[in-house]
Chains A and B, each alone.
Chain A
Amino acid sequence: AQSVTQPDIHITVSEGASLELRCNYSYGATPYLFWYVQSPGQGLQLLLKYFSGDTLVQGIKGFEAEFKRSQSSFNLRKPSVHWSDAAEYFCAVGERGDYKLSFGAGTTVTVRA
């Protein structure tokens, strides 16, 4: 069975500083990988996705993520954080031929001035 681990429950970062959120998954084949963001009281918004090809993917709002097969990781990064990036971030894994997504428990990002 698939599993997704987001090791950091909560991260605090200063505005303008860089951000990296970790995501590790357990799955036998090449998965589909996603990062979603959820602001308070809102649904999930897709930041970026990896299906195949270039392992460095660019997303919206200046985010990028890199798929590293050897490490079973799909870490999310942003070079310079804005106060509006404060939210909860979820990594999700999908299986080819199956539409089901498995989500991590999420990482809450706090941005301080």
Chain B
Amino acid sequence: EAGVVQSPRYKIIEKKQPVAFWCNPISGHNTLYWYLQNLGQGPELLIRYENEEAVDDSQLPKDRFSAERLKGVDSTLKIQPAELGDSAVYLCASSYGENTEAFFGQGTRLTVV
């Protein structure tokens, strides 16, 4: 079974440029998460989807961040415009319901210069 797939693995952009990250969750997993992991810290939730619906986006900086999950499968996280402080690892995870663990992708390491 394929795991959570994220792309790209690495991205370097100049500040004020837009950037997008893509995630393909494990087949059959209705719940999808985007986490932000700063250097030396644990992941922090940005947004959670149940199928197509964003059910928890309280930690998503909506002035510059947006996300979508069309058809309840793949998801895209976008930053526009990027700032230097956005440099971090962006992790996608999925799970198939309550009382189940989240499976994580390898992450996208973003460097904003």
Contact = CB atoms under 8 A, between A and B. Distances in A.
Interface in B57-104: 91, 93, 95, 98-99, 101-104
Contact of B99 (A34, A41, A51, A101): A51
A101 B45 contact: yes
B106 interface: yes
Which of B6, B45, B101: most chain A Cβ within 10 A? B101
A90 B48 contact: no
Which of A44, A97, A104: most chain B Cβ within 10 A? A44
Interface in A22-77: 32, 34, 36, 41-46, 49, 51
By size class, the interface of chain A is: 20 to 34
B99 A32 contact: yes
Leading 7 A-B pairs by shortest Cβ distance: A103-B42, A43-B104, A44-B104, A43-B106, A43-B105, A46-B101, A103-B43
A23 to B, nearest CB: 11
A100 B45 contact: yes
A41 B95 CA distance: 22
B95 A99 contact: yes
Contacts of A99: 31, 33, 48, 56, 95, 98, 102
A38 to B, nearest CB: 9
A17 to B, nearest CB: 25
A92 B95 contact: no
Interface in A1-38: 4, 32, 34, 36
Which of B43, B44, B93: most chain A Cβ within 10 A? B43
A106 B40 contact: yes
B25 interface: no
